C-alpha cells in the first residue's frame, strides 16, 4: 500500500490516492504509515519541481492531494492520541508578511496538533509584531515561519531580527519551511533549523521539547 500511495501522490493522481487512503484506513492500516507514504510522495514532487519537470501549479495541486489524505487520516490519528493527556508544548506558527500561501502551513499545524502540541496558528501575511505579541502571550518555546515565495526569505529574516530586538530570541527556537528552503536560507534568516515537510517540523519540535 505504502509504495502505491507514494507513487499515486507523486504522479498527482488525486482520486486514486484518496480512494487508496480511504480503503487502507477502513482496512485498519496504521494512519501514520499512510502519512509517511504521502511524505515520500511529496519528496518526489519536490525533486521533480527542482528538475523543472513540475511547476508551481503542480506543487499546489500536490499540496491539495496531501491535504485530502491528511483530512481522511485525521480522525484515526486523533483516536490514537486520545490517551495522550496534557499537551507536549506550545508552538506559534504563521506564513510571514507578504506571502499568502497556507497549504504547507496548514499541514504543519495539523501534524503538530495530532502529535500533541498546542498550536497557535496566526494565519497568512503575518506582520512581525504579531509574532512577537504571540510569543509573549503564549510563552511558547518554538516559532514556525512559513513562506512559499522567494520574497518570504527577507520577511523571515526581518521577523527573526524583530524577535531578537524584542529581547525574545534567546528563549525560543525558530524553524522555517516552505518553497525551496535550504541551509543557506536558514543561515540568511537567522533561524535555528528548517524542515522540508510537516513531519520534519514535528521531529524538530520533538527534539526541542525533549519528547
Domains annotated for the chain, with CATH where assigned, are 2-80 (1.10.1240.10), 90-209 (3.40.50.280)
- Segments of the chain scoring below 50 in pLDDT: none
Q: Are 13 and 22 in contact (CB under 8 A)?
A: no
Compute the distance between CA of residue 65 and CA of residue 184 in angstroms, rounded to an integer: 29
Give residue 209's pLDDT. Answer: 94
Q: Which three cell numbers stand for residue 31?
A: 494512519
Q: Measuring CA to CA, how many Å separate 176 from each of 75, 100, 139, 146?
A: 27, 15, 19, 6
Q: Which three cell numbers stand for residue 44?
A: 518526489
Give residue 81's pLDDT. Answer: 60
Give residue 148's pLDDT. Answer: 82
pTM of structure: 0.78
Give residue 198's pLDDT. Answer: 83
CA-closest candidate to residue 47, choices 38, 35, 59 = 59
Give residue 82's pLDDT. Answer: 56
Compute the distance between CA of residue 103 and CA of residue 91 in angstroms, rounded to an integer: 18
Amino acid at each position: 500500500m505504502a509504495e502505491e500511495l507514494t507513487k499515486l501522490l507523486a504522479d498527482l493522481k488525486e482520486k486514486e490516492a484518496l480512494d487508496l487512503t480511504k480503503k487502507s484506513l477502513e482496512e485498519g492500516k496504521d494512519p501514520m504509515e499512510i502519512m509517511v507514504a504521502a511524505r515520500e510522495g511529496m519528496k518526489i514532487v519536490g525533486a521533480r519541481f527542482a528538475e523543472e519537470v513540475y511547476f508551481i501549479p503542480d506543487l499546489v495541486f500536490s499540496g491539495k492531494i496531501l491535504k485530502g489524505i491528511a483530512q481522511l487520516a485525521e480522525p484515526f490519528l486523533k483516536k490514537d492520541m486520545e490517551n495522550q493527556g496534557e499537551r507536549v508544548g506550545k508552538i506559534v506558527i504563521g506564513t510571514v508578511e507578504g506571502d499568502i500561501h497556507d497549504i504547507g502551513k496548514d499541514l504543519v499545524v495539523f501534524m503538530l496538533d495530532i502529535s500533541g502540541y498546542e498550536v497557535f496558528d496566526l494565519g497568512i501575511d503575518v506582520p512581525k509584531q504579531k509574532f512577537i505579541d504571540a510569543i509573549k502571550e503564549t510563552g511558547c518555546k518554538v516559532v514556525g515561519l512559513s513562506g512559499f515565495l522567494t520574497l518570504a526569505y527577507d520577511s523571515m529574516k526581518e521577523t527573526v531580527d524583530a524577535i531578537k530586538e524584542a529581547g525574545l530570541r534567546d528563549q525560543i527556537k525558530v524553524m522555517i519551511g516552505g518553497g525551496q528552503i535550504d541551509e543557506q536560507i536558514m543561515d540568511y534568516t537567522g533561524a535555528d533549523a528548517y524542515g522540508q515537510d510537516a513531519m520534519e517540523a514535528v521531529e524538530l519540535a520533538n527534539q526541542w521539547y525533549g519528547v
